[in-house]
Amino acid sequence: MFRTISAAIAVLAFTAPGFAGEKTDPRCSQYGEGFVYSADTGMCIRVGGEFRADYGFRKQSGLGQQSGFGSTVKGHVDARGDSDLGPFRIVVEPTARKF
């Protein structure tokens, strides 16, 4: 599961700079910076994410030394648009941790 989510976030991380380099489409200016218009969906979309790697070490009396690596991968997709019922927003923020 962790590898699948990590791979999905990696794909988003490599495609996001392509979106980030584009100027905000006039159709998406009301939502703020970073939104691009998707003609396929008719929505304004912003994609982002982060990767964090940690290393921990501690020395505890009676238990000896303990150390380990950990990582966290977070993604963020924000899609906004209008429908017959009014404005709508979809936010997806997957997070995967491994310690």
How confident is the model at residue 21, as a pLDDT? 56
How confident is the model at residue 8, as a pLDDT? 53
* Number of alpha helices (DSSP H) and beta strands (DSSP E) in the chain: 1, 5
Tens of each residue's pLDDT in the chain, 99 residues: 455 555 555 555 555 555 555 566 788 999 999 999 999 989 999 999 999 998 887 777 777 777 888 899 999 999 999 989 999 999 999 999 887
CA 76 – CA 53 distance, rounded (Å): 18
Residue with tokens 């392509």: 18
